[in-house]
Amino acid sequence: MKKTLVVLFWIISTAAVSVAQELPPIDGIKFEGSEIFKVHEPLVLQTADYLLTTPVKENDIDRLKAVQFLIKWMEGTPDHTFTIDGYPTKYFSYNVDLMSIYMAALCKVELETKHTDANELTLDATKVFLKYVNEPTYYKSKLSKDIKRLSAANDKGELKSFLRM
């Protein structure tokens, strides 16, 4: 009985921590000087994780702040290069929520893996993006035919060729 209670408490605690995701303390951070970008990389990764582990909601100020923070970092960092071109963004560039998820995926993958090849970064970020949008807990909107085709190519292991890389 005691063991069951301990296991139950552990499960509830883990669930509460994973649901209680909060926006990292990004208010007031100014990206001035090249060294400040490197200093804030852990915060950028936390912010990307925040966006990739919270549901998309209309008029969510915290998500907006998080996206603005990531965009400022991506535009100014001298240590990382991000290419947002026709593939895969042509499938969702019309949707601000989807673009923000993709940018968070780019930041996360870049900071965790430090890709030297832009195509590999795009490929891995697209996989993170697809994992998010295919999770109904996070993304509740109906997926477009294009996103469904992108996802199907990923499921078949054909994402690289689908994106013409």
Residue type, 94: Y
Judge if pTM exceeds 0.85.
no
Say whether pLDDT at 8 is over 50.
Answer: no
Residue tagged 């030297």 (tokens) = 116
> Which pLDDT tens digit goes with each residue over 85-113?
667 777 787 888 999 999 999 999 999 99
CA–CA distances in Å: residue 39 to residues 70, 82, 98, 148: 14, 19, 28, 38
Q: What backbone torsions phi and psi does residue 52 show, to the nearest 5 degrees?
A: -90, 0
The span from the CA of 16 to the CA of 3, in Å, is 20
> Which pLDDT tens digit goes with each residue over 118-154?
889 999 999 999 999 999 888 888 888 999 999 999 9
> Which pLDDT tens digit goes with each residue over 23-76?
888 888 888 888 899 999 999 999 999 999 999 988 889 999 999 999 999 999
Other Cβ atoms within 10 Å of 138 Cβ, number: 16
